[in-house]
Amino acid sequence: MTFQPNNLSNYQMKCYLTILLLFMSFLVSSAQETTILSNNGQKKLLQIYQSPENDFLSLMTQPEKPTPEGEYLRLYHLFIAFQAYERKLYLNSFHKGLQQFETSFEPSPKSQIMFVTLLIQQSLLHWNQNELTDGARSFYKAHRLFRKLDKKQYTDDYLKLESIFNIFLSQIPEQFQFLASLFGLEGNIELGFQQLEKYTLVAKQHADSYCEALVLEAYCQLKFGQADNKQVQLLMQESADCHSPLLQFVIGSLAVKNKMSDKGLTYINTIDKKAFESFPLIRYLKGRLLLNQLDSACLTSLKAFDGNYQGYSFRTDALMRQAWWFHIQEETLKRDSLINQVLQQKHLPTSNDKQAQKEITSLANEPVSLLKARLLFDGAHYLQAKKILTKIDTSTINSYYRPEYHYRMGKINKELKLNNAALICFDEVMRLSQDDTRYFGPHAAIEAAKIKLLQHDTIRANQYLIEAQYLNTGQYKQDISRIISSMTNE
């Protein structure tokens, strides 16, 4: 059989049309939006992170004909500005604007993802104000809407939200987990961090959105994760081109958490000096890192923070650390003045501030050497800390401080890989803590269990965890129970 010329032309035409349709289908799928923000929107988002309080007029004024993207970015800006400066005006404007956002725009996949993101931010604002019920309500609403989203649309933002829910929902206290599961509120912290890492890599392809991804990763690691020093250093390197004081503050806080005093100070000192003026929380961080080196310059930074910051977060903690400095310098009048200031503080928005007001009551009797060793340990100066502690005659220490002495010596020995010496210290802490409601007893048992797990002695490790549960009668009971439960499951 042979094709006639006309037949051959028709056949070719069909082939060409088929190829064209397939190619156009490929173009459509390739051009499918993976993020909710336009290019201009992504640039605006980066500007928000770089200058949280710029363009005050547009921040506080809703345009006559708002668009979903424009209003989303304005509310996002209010959230970030409040986190940075804690002005009540921003908080109230955010809540009012979010209420209007829900009713002002026709529901669409894009606007729904925006609304879910803003609801999560609202829940954080409520929780930071100790409005626990309102925070839970906003978060549950966000999760309910999220479950209705199509994961094939705006895949980058979907992945981001999915990682947030997995991480946050993994933090539900054990006694409420069954009830939460009935409402579909189940998290998976390991999966959440895997998704967050994947999202960060995806976001790196969009330079203007990368800063947000880094802030999210650093924040989740700070609050819920266990980032190692290499991960923190990588975040430091990756943040260099963002020029965001908020990102720098969160990464600096991670350095404090990881006892990276030297590298943390090096990082803080690379920050533009203007950021110290516009974002005083960085001064607070620098003061903490300097104090952990017993450097007198800490006082300058902590005072500058206190004098320039209009919010309340970390203010009580900063006052306590100034009192610590004067205590180790044995300047009792200045110390006592600061103790009174700490006790008079009414707004305690962070766990640091709440703990500061509890701790300050016993500062006047705290052995100076014990406080010095604690600060040096927090800065990873383990040999210097041990040298100070070994000079102390334990028989001269008040019985109230003996559990702390042995606990700190045990932690130092553990960091120095002197595990057998550390176990002796932790056993002594547990012996001295049978009627003590402070955290030293249960944490000593947990640290001993960690050593035994490294030594593959699971039977003894489990015995230590049982002892930790027995001693867990007071401070941080819920957090300690979560650690014990996690280790027991392992």
Instruction: Select from 205, 235, 242, 230 the least CA-distant residue to 220.
Output: 235
In the chain, domain spans: 312-365, 385-489
Q: Say whether pLDDT at 146 is over 50.
A: yes
259 SS3 class? coil
pLDDT tier at 32 (50, 70, 90 boundaries)?
Answer: low
pLDDT at 186: 86
> What's the pLDDT at 174?
66
Number of Cβ atoms within 10 Å of the Cβ of 156: 20
pLDDT mean over 12-38: 52
Nearest CA-CA partner of 71 in 34, 125, 111: 111
What 8-state DSSP symbol labels residue 24?
A: H
Q: Report the alpha-carbon distance of residue 154 to residue 409 in Å, rounded.
A: 52
DSSP of 50-75: H-TT--HHHHH---SS--HHHHHHHH
Q: What's the whole-number mean pLDDT along residues 358-387?
A: 95
Q: Both tokens of residue 114?
A: 């925006």
Residue 344 has pLDDT above 60, yes or no: yes
The three-class DSSP label of residue 304 is helix
Q: Write the CATH number of the domain with boundaries 385-489.
A: 1.25.40.10
Could you tell me the pLDDT band of residue 14, with boundaries at 50, 70 and 90? very low
The total number of residues written for the chain in this structure: 490
Predicted local distance difference test score (pLDDT) of residue 34:
86
pLDDT at 175: 62
Rg (Cα) of the chain, in Å, rounded? 27
Sign for the pseudo-dihedral over CA of 472, 476, 481, 484:
negative
Q: Which amino acid is at 129?
A: Q
DSSP-assigned states of every residue in 24-36: HHHHHHHT---SS
Quick one: DSSP state of residue 196? H
Average the pLDDT over 195-214 and give the result: 93
Pull the structure tokens for residue 191. 């999966």
**Average predicted confidence (pLDDT) for the chain:** 89
